[in-house]
């Protein structure tokens, strides 16, 4: 599967973006707020994938709760799939647990699911249904 994006939770998305952009020459490709997820998102282009920096808009949001329990850092990885339902069935057959196995529509308007980190080496993993050759970040 192709990597779509790496998501990092941070209390300061713009500051983290400036730092990583300066250190690694990664241009900012998008800066947005997703109200229903309670996050500000800054996306850095890495060529074949995107680094997403998400800053909570308040403490009572998924990323706000994450940062109350964890240090800033890796929040999730996202892989692309051409057929999300087929992959959910395939992974369920392998005993993988899901946060949500019924696809929901993500911020980019594409179907997404999250696998439970207990099944995936401790890392929250998102799948997004998109074309393998799609440019940039899907969500």
Nearer to Co ion, 22 or 113 (CB): 113
Nearer to Co ion, 77 or 91 (CB): 77
Residue carrying the six token digits 């929040």: 75
| Residues 18 to 77 in contact with Co ion, rule: CB under 5 A | none
Burial 117-135 (b: 16+ CB within 10 A, else e): eeebeeebbbbbbbeeeee
| Residues 68 to 97 in contact with Co ion, rule: CB under 5 A | 78
Measured distance between the N- and C-terminal CA atoms of the chain, rounded to whole angstroms: 16
Q: Near Co ion by CB under 5 A, which window of 14-22, 67-75, 97-105, 118-126?
A: 118-126
Q: Does 126 bind Co ion (CB under 5 A)?
A: yes
CA distances to 59, 110, 112, 114 from 105, rounded to whole Å, are 24, 5, 6, 12
Question: Which residue sits closest to Co ion, CB atoms considered?
Answer: 78
Q: Which residues bind Co ion (CB under 5 A)?
A: 7, 78, 126
């Amino acid at each position: 599967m192709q990597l779509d994006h790496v998501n990092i939770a941070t209390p300061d998305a713009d500051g983290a973006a400036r730092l990583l952009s300066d250190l690694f020459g990664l241009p900012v490709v998008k800066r947005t707020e997703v109200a229903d997820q309670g996050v500000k998102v800054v996306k850095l282009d890495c060529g074949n994938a995107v680094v997403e920096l998400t800053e909570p808009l308040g403490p009572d949001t998924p990323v706000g709760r994450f940062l109350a329990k964890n240090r800033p850092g890796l929040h999730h990885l996202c892989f692309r799939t051409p057929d999300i339902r087929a992959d959910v069935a395939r992974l369920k057959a392998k005993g993988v647990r899901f946060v949500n196995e019924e696809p929901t529509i993500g911020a980019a308007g594409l179907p997404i699911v999250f696998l439970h980190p207990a099944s995936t080496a401790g890392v929250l993993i998102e799948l997004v249904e998109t074309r393998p050759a799609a440019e940039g970040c899907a969500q």
